[in-house]
Amino acid sequence: MHASMIQPTAADDRATEFKAVDGTGEQFDGYTLMVEAYAAIWLIMLVWLALIWRKQQHLAARVDGLEGAIARAERNITAKSKKAAVPEETTA
C-alpha cells in the first residue's frame, strides 16, 4: 500500500483509553509471567556459572601440570649443571 493511499485519521476517531478485550484466546497473568521470566534468568545464570566453574577446574589442573613440568625441568637443569660442575672441579 502506498503512503498516499492511507488516509490520516482525526484524533477524535482514535480511542483515548484502554479497553480490555474479552475472549481473545490465551492470556496470562502478569505476575505469573514475571515469576517465569525470573526463574528462566536464574536457571540460565546457574547453568552459565556451572560451565564457568568446570572450565576453571580444567584450567587449574592444566596450570598445576605446567607448574609441575617447569619444576621438573628446573630440577633436571640443576642436576645436569651439578654433574657437569663436579668433573671440572676434580680435574682442576
Q: Where are the domains of the chain?
A: 49-92
Given a cut of 60, whether residue 41 has pLDDT beyond it is yes
**pLDDT score recorded for residue 74:** 94
pTM of the model: 0.51
Report how far apart, in Å, the C-alpha atoms of 1 and of each of 5, 14, 50 are: 7, 21, 52
The residue among 26 and 69 whose pLDDT is bigger is 69
Give the tens place of pLDDT for each residue, 3-20. 556 665 666 667 778 877
Residue 53 grid coordinates: 566453574
For 45, the enclosing helix (H) or strand (E) is: helix 30-91
Q: Which residue has the cell 492470556?
A: 27
